[in-house]
């Protein structure tokens, strides 16, 4: 099999960026979160969202290809 590194480079460029996803959230302290995935804290009732990088490396979540990516609307900045 012949390996074409150029084509694999193009596939990497075509992957969506979390920064352009409607579920992506950057906190005030610089933490990058994915608001699509999280767990409810039974003590506080708040949802603890997962780290965005963790979601992109876990194929059961968004995975390296960004299979649950939803592009932000033009007037949408983030989900609160």
In a domain, 11, yes or no: no
What pLDDT is attached to residue 27?
92
In a domain, 44, yes or no: yes
For the chain, give the number of residues.
80
Query: What is the rounded CA–CA span in Å between residue 62 and residue 73?
Result: 19
Quote the pTM value: 0.67
Does residue 2 belong to any structural domain of this protein?
no
Confidence of residue 75 (pLDDT cuts 50, 70, 90): low
Establish if 5 belongs to a structural domain. Answer: no
Q: Total structural domains in the chain? A: 1
Instruction: Give the Cα separation of 70 and 15 in Å (integer).
Output: 12
Residues 42, 28: Cα–Cα separation, whole Å: 24
pLDDT tens digits along 22-64:
999 999 999 999 999 999 999 999 999 999 999 989 898 988 8
What is the predicted pLDDT for the residue at 77? 53
Q: Determine, yes or no, domain membership for 1.
A: no
């Amino acid at each position: 099999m012949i390996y074409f590194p150029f084509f694999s480079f193009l596939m990497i460029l075509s992957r969506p960026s979390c920064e352009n996803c409607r579920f992506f959230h950057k906190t005030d302290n610089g933490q990058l979160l994915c608001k699509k995935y999280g767990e409810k804290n039974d003590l506080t009732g708040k949802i603890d969202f997962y780290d965005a990088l963790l979601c992109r490396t876990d194929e059961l979540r968004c995975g390296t290809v960004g299979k649950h990516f939803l592009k932000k609307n033009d007037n949408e900045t983030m989900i609160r």
